[in-house]
Structure 1
Amino acid sequence: MNYSTIKKTAVAASLVAALGFAETAQAQTPTVFGGRSQYRTWSIGVQGGITTPNTILGGQNGFGQKVGYFQNKVGEYYGLTIRKQFSHLFGLELEGNRGRIKTYNHDLVTAPETANGARSAETSVNWAASLNGVFQLGTIDFMRRENAVNFYAKVGLGVMAHNPVQFANNDFTGNEVYNNAGNWGEEIFGDREATGDKDNRLTGFIPVGVGVKFKLSEVVALNLGYTMNFTDDNLLYGPVRYDGKQKFSNVYGGLEFTLGSRDKESLTFTNPVATLYDELKDPSLRNEVEALKQRVSTLEGTVDQLSKDSDGDGVSDKFDKCPGTPAGTVVDGSGCPIKFPEAQQLTEGSAGYFAPIQFEFDSSVLKTESYSTLDKLAKELKDNNATVTLDGYASAEGTEAYNMNLSTDRANAVKQYLVNAGVSASSITATGYGEANPVASNDTEEGRVQNRRVEIKK
């Protein structure tokens, strides 16, 4: 193949790839249906048909100066396909064919022969291979979950090895006046040197076609189509009266077999629009949606019940073993008041006393129930221009060094809250004491809860 062929090949390959991957990117994963994994996407096909040395687009017959002088003669054409379906709209297909293309002069008296006296030509396509992008165009059974009839178009890029032979008679007999594989082809026309192939010419071609598929079963489909093949060769039929790129077409029929488990649908015949419509209109699915709504409503009610806290102590009613505790009472995880030593048996609001600020395990984050206590403390400090000492403590879990840092962080968390509330930082002293001065035993969880604290001293 010459530079022109390589250039056209690259352009056509880029076009096929761009169209294919754009289509794949657009519809690669049909999220409504769970993706390609739930479908069968591979298929193989066998096909056979006839060729003709022109196309439905019209134009000059490849082996003659005018249409009518040289007539079409059908030749056989057959092959195999392997296809991967990337979405319900697009797939890539590898196609291989072989066969013959024929044309002849039907009138020996009035119609001229070619320059070398040929009156018929036969081109043997020893092999032709192409990579095609296949685009699904539409369906007849539009509102069914699976299509039964699909229309498609394809465009691709290929290479073929062929040998044109021209005969002196119009019935493909008599002397061979041209044979690409014979010595006279090189001596007279000098074409074989350009091919670089002793027996065949290598030619690039672009197949463009349309077709229709009929679903016969879950595995087998009938495939009918028409393809125009535009080659990059002006000697497809041997030397002719004009120098132009030749073309031919083929009509074919065949069977396509979908590979994979029969439990899965074929992506080729899947109709996502109809599937979506069916799912939206399916009474059983609507009932399932309503059941799910009911379950969600029940779940929301359960969550509301679990989060209900009538006495506002931070423990939900379902787990509160001491309901109705007075506002501001320091409680443990079960909602019961924490018993402090006698020295601290004062109620919040007593002159100069504020209950310790409690913390969760291994945490220096203030609980929301502490905000009201700290707001009252901040107001009192600002109104009286007073000072306060914050002593942070931790329970005995972990190392002493870790607990010292944790207690300091707890004291500083309280200090930062007061500063944010408008208290001067210089009037606040925050110190961490780690595991020192426990107010209850660290051998029980109830005691450890009490020890995770910041004491407020004025």
Structure 2
Amino acid sequence: MNKSILWRVACLLLATTPMMSHAQDHPSATSAVSATPSVRLFRGPGDYKVWSIGINGGVLAPVVPTGGSNDFTKWKGSAGYGGYVKYQILHFLALRADYVGGKLQADNSKNLGNGATPVSPYKSFETKLPWSATLNAVFNITTVNWLFRQNFVSLYASVGGGLAGYKPTLETNSGTKRDYNNDKAIKELIIPVGAGLKFKLSEVINLDLGYTMYYTDGDNLDGYYHGPNKDKYSYGYAGLEFALGKKGKKQLQWHNPASAMYDELEAQKATLAASLDAANQNNARLTADVDKLTKDSDGDGVSDFFDKCPGTPANTKVDGSGCPLPVPVIEKKEEKIVITEEDTRIVKEAIRNLEFDFAKASIKPHSYPALDRVADLLKRKNLNLKLSGHTDNVGSKDRNLALSRERAESVKAYMVEKGVNASKIEAVGYGMSQPIASNKTAAGRQKNRRVEFTIF
């Protein structure tokens, strides 16, 4: 359909070629075109300094603005140091290999938000960070500047990944110190996310001010495993960056494409105007003919010139002549899902093996295999699941209701993590309102502490 229109337009263009060639033979048109310079917005990294090294010093702290201060209430700043090697790929993008070292400290001397003293077996910790190595992508956000020809301040952001090696030492409330992991270095995956400001002092030296948040893949940075959240730390620093390369070359990271483009386009302004004036006389007639061929009043994709069925309703599929195509009748087939005895056995086994930590919503690891089989069943048969949390009558009614809901949500979160569609799972907490046994005996209370699974 569209190909036929394009073919006819192409024939029209070929027919008008001799006329356009005659117009270009005019002296003024020829001189205007030949005088037009070529536009080169970027000449490649070979004309710039692309390698640089940096050194910095600053403050390391076991805290980030987006995740708090880990498992201790009061963080302390400690001296940190670092360095990097950077390769500038484009004016706005670079790869940077970073090294950071120092130590991290915190204690529990600060009260909680409600004024209560934190409950912890440990008084404080100190973690030695001999090294961390990461590879980061660095994005210069303010490279293109339409207001100033020469930039001297640049805002950048970075993200990457790598490894950190550290040794935590814990001090108990009684004053005893112990080395976590027998004083052996822990190697953990880290994800750095940072931002900073860079000031151009010369074509060789830059002042670098930055702040980076490090997210670890473990809860052992402070030597204290407490809760589901993973540990993190931050590094605020100031340093110098030294550009490497031949004398006279500029740094690629300070290149402003907008400035180069403006200078070259301004030089073409007069000559392009002359060329356009000559071409517009020929384009006027060509545009009228093209409009006649391409005008499509009913919007069906076939121009009025070739449309044999004008006035086709919107969103109607048509053939090459603009006439409606027959609408195929699609018969929907309902898929019947059968829940077998084996499916029921898998669910019952998961209920039987499901256990939580005392008074918490965290699932014990030995329950995972049975839950994995239920997750596989839900995905394989596209089933729905209702999770009903229940407790015994020990404790307040409000706390039991909240705990039952948290446990049901914890099972749902595990299923979603295993690939189950979250909309297929409903998690409800009933607290102690629906006992299935007497709460007067330990055995009865054990039966009442449960999460029921219902598949459908």
Using the size of structure 2 for normalisation, the TM-score is: 0.47
Using the size of structure 1 for normalisation, the TM-score is: 0.47
